[in-house]
Structure 1
Amino acid sequence: MTILTESVARLLLAPSLMVAAAILVKGYADVGDGFSAAVIVSLAVALQYLALGSARAEEELPLLRHAPRVAIAGILIALASGFFPLLFGRAIFSHEPGPGESVVHIGRLELITPVAFDVGVFLLVAGALISLIHHLAQPPEETEEEDG
């Protein structure tokens, strides 16, 4: 690739991650949108693979090799946030804390169970898509045919 392509890809990585974080925290409504944020991150990673090549992208972004573990952690977090209320005899995906209860805040973000679910969806989708991108970017292995 050209120097211009590599430079643009590098310059777009950080803003893409910031936009994804903003969408994760505040999606279409008050709760975030983990799926869209994960797609944005995956597209930024795909751009790195296209601009830098497979070997260089993985060298410069060493966290990419942990994508399958991230996907597994994401599905566990999403399932836990959905089914955790069953332990207390409540309906699946019941929001915690309930109406009128005190909510923990980080800045303007309220830490409620839908936020945990969105983070789980984000990790699941990002991990799965980055794993797919990684496998698609690898050159095909040459198989030796044995004469029998």
Structure 2
Amino acid sequence: MKRHDIIVRVVARLLLTPSVVVAAALIVKEYAEVGDGFSAGMIVSLTVALQYVALGTPTVEEVLPLLRLSPALVIGGTLLALASAFFPLALGKPPFSHLPEPSDHVTTVGTLELFTPLAFDIAIFSLVVGVMTMMLHQFASPDEKETEKERTG
């Protein structure tokens, strides 16, 4: 094994947890404003891509078994995005309205306030991470039947 291979592997492993923490901070960056679910999703997706490059497909899928849930993450993200976007319609408000309104009581979990923009950011994060990890999996391990056809002919 070459020296730079070891360095890349170690750096890839060390960056996984901090990148997830940074992504979580981006999603819930402020209580009064919308976070950034897309950027958070791209940070996590790029970290997963680094894992695939540095460690290889079998190792990554062994170390990160949650990658198998990518299709469910896409479906869940889509449903959550639709629900958070169109839930205000049920209350007679326009789509994508900020609920609860500033004068209303806000439900909290610890110090985290739950409101529709946060749900939408989590949905976008889920969509980006789910789609990107599915694409990375397909690029990292192409269909074996197609590979055999290319070899034979």
The TM-score with structure 1 as length reference comes to: 0.89
Instruction: Give the gaps of 5 or more residues in structure 2.
Output: none
Deviation at 1:139, TM superposition (A): 4.2
State the SS of the aligned residue for 2:148: coil
**Are 1:105 and 2:88 counterparts?**
no
Greater displacement, 134-143 / 4-13? 134-143
Q: Which stretch of structure 1 is more off in the superposition, 131-140 or 12-21?
A: 131-140
Q: CA deviation at 1:144?
A: 4.2
Could you tell me which of 77, 88, 102 is aligned with 2:91? 88
Determine which of 57, 61, 64 is the counterpart of 1:58.
61
Aligned mates of 1:31, 1:13 — CA distance in 2: 25
1:49 aligns with 2:52: yes
One-letter code of the match for 1:109? L
CA distance in 2, matches of 1:144, 1:93: 49
Give 1:26's aligned residue: 29
Stretches of structure 1 lacking an aligned partner (at least 5 in a row): none
> Is it true that 1:134 corresponds to 2:128 in the alignment?
no
Give the Cα–Cα distance (whole angstroms) in 1 for the partners of residues 103 and 46 of structure 2: 40
Find the aligned partners of 1:64 and 1:20 in 2 and give their Cα distance.
Answer: 17
Q: 2: distance between equivalents of 1:20 and 1:83?
A: 25
Q: What amino acid is aligned across from residue 60 of structure 1 in structure 2? A: V
Alignment correspondent of 1:118: 121
The alignment partner of 2:113 has SS state of strand
Question: What's 1:38 paired with?
Answer: 41
* 1:96-133 C-alpha deviation (Å, 9 max, x unpaired): 11131111234443211100011011101110011111
Question: Distance between the aligned counterparts of 2:130 and 2:83, measured in 1?
Answer: 18
Which residue in the other structure is 1:143 paired with? 148
RMSD: 1.8
State the identity as a percent.
56
* Number of residue pairs the alignment of both structures matches: 144
TM-score relative to the length of structure 2 = 0.86
Higher helix share: 2
Q: Secondary structure at the match of 2:58?
A: helix
